[in-house]
């Protein structure tokens, strides 16, 4: 696809919350052969800009809600176009948004991309208490645990989950715990005690591949 003007158009449409135009542009871009991952990135950038406008007081909570709904519907159109490119084997990933946090778009995107890469994903949803994470880790013995959180207040519950999991005997521990969300960082990873951190979904997929030693698949 040669024309890149659609990318900025899509970002602007989402930033301006033009629901129908966004979905139309997503359909057109996919039909014209755009890389579905680039379409996702543009939608994500639009939502990020909505967040900035909210922060500056130019948008209110309703705009965040609307951006969330537009993103969800756009993802429904994009996900079927994301082809399985690499094997995930029988690797199992347990995902969830930590207690006190109801943001789920990023987590859902990570889950969708992991599935597209052959991983088996169990999604516990949002506002998941630490004890529920522990219960599910014990019950399903996942290879990787992914904790999502977008609020700075999510770091405490993330640490609680990690602390609970670390007490399990080594043979029942996951091979890796990843924290994800726009504001995680190396410092947050250290604070929380997780093994890895990611601020974008594809990086999360690559980390899971790395944890499962599918290193040849890394690019
Ligand atoms: C949409 C949105 C909402 C929607 C959420 C809808 C939904 N179903 O998720 C609604 C309206 C519900 C909402 C509510 C609130 N929100 Co809000 N929200 C946003 C917004 C605009 C976008 C978030 C988003 O979905 N982005 C798109 C996705 C795809 O990106 P992402 O979440 O970052 O995920 C990517 C990566 O982070 C990563 N990732 C995420 N999770 C994981 C997990 C793993 C394992 C891995 C590997 C990777 C990974 O991969 C994803 C894809 O690449 C952000 C602004 C921003 N810049 O992030 C504010 C933002 C997160 N919200 C904010 C706030 C303050 C709130 C409220 C407190 C507002 C209020 N006054 O009520 C409430 C909190 C409710 C709660 N208890 O959780 C603040 C947080 C500030 C802070 N640092 O604590 C932000 C940053 C806005 C701002 N700039 O002020 N919000």
Q: Count CB neighbours of 137 within 10 A.
A: 20
CB 147 within 8 A of CB 98: yes
Task: Give pLDDT tens digits for 52-87.
Answer: 999 999 999 999 999 999 999 999 999 899 876 655
pLDDT, average across residues 27-49: 94
- The DSSP bridge partners found for residue 98 are 128
pLDDT above 90: percentage of residues in the chain: 82
Predicted pLDDT of residue 117: 84
Q: Is 146 helix (H, G, I), strand (E, B) or coil?
A: strand
Q: What is the mean pLDDT of the chain?
A: 91
The string of DSSP codes covering 32-73 is TT--HHHHHHHHHHHHHHHHHHHHTTSS-HHHHHHHHHHHHH
Rg of the chain on CA atoms, in Å: 18
User: Among 133-147, 173-187, 205-219, which is the least confidently predicted range?
Assistant: 205-219
Pocket of ligand 1 (CB under 6 A): 44, 47-48, 50-51, 54-55, 61, 64-65, 67-68, 100-107, 109-110, 146, 148, 150-152, 178, 180-183, 198-201, 204
The string of DSSP codes covering 124-141 is --SSB-HHHHHHHHHHH-
Nearest 5 degrees, angle CA 208-CA 176-CA 137? Answer: 110
**pLDDT at residue 135 greater than cutoff 60:** yes
**pLDDT at residue 90 greater than cutoff 60:** yes
Predicted pLDDT of residue 143: 96
DSSP 183: T
Centre of ligand 1 to C-alpha 32, Å, is 30
Confidence category of residue 144, pLDDT binned at 50, 70, 90: very high
pLDDT, average across residues 194-200: 96
Task: Give pLDDT tens digits for 92-132.
Answer: 999 999 999 999 999 998 998 898 888 999 999 999 999 99
Q: Which atom of ligand 1 is nearest to the CA of 153?
A: 84
Centre of ligand 1 to C-alpha 47, Å, is 9
Give pTM, 2 decimals.
Answer: 0.91
Predicted pLDDT of residue 216: 40
Report the distance separating Cα 54 and Cα 76, nearest Å. 25
Residue closest to 13 by CA, chosen among 37, 49, 57: 49
pLDDT, average across residues 25-37: 95
């Amino acid at each position: 696809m040669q024309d890149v003007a659609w990318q900025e158009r899509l970002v602007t449409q989402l930033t301006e919350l033009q629901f129908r135009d966004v979905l139309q542009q997503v359909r057109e871009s996919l039909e014209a052969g755009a890389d579905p991952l680039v379409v996702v990135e543009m939608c994500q950038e639009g939502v990020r800009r909505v967040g900035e406008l909210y922060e500056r007081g130019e948008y209110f909570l309703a705009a965040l809600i609307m951006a969330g709904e537009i993103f969800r519907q756009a993802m429904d159109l994009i996900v079927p176009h994301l082809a399985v490119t690499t094997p995930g084997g029988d690797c199992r990933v347990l995902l969830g948004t930590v207690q006190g946090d109801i943001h789920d778009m990023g987590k859902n995107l990570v889950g969708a991309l992991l599935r597209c890469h052959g991983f088996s994903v169990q999604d516990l949803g949002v506002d998941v208490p630490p004890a529920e994470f522990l219960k599910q880790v014990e019950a399903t013995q996942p290879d990787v645990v992914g904790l999502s959180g977008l609020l700075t207040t999510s770091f405490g519950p993330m640490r609680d989950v990690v602390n609970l999991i670390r007490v399990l005997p080594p043979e029942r521990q996951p091979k890796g715990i990843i924290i994800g969300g726009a504001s995680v960082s190396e410092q947050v990873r250290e604070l929380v005690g997780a093994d890895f951190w990611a601020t974008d979904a594809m990086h999360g997929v690559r980390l899971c591949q790395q944890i499962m030693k599918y290193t040849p698949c890394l690019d």
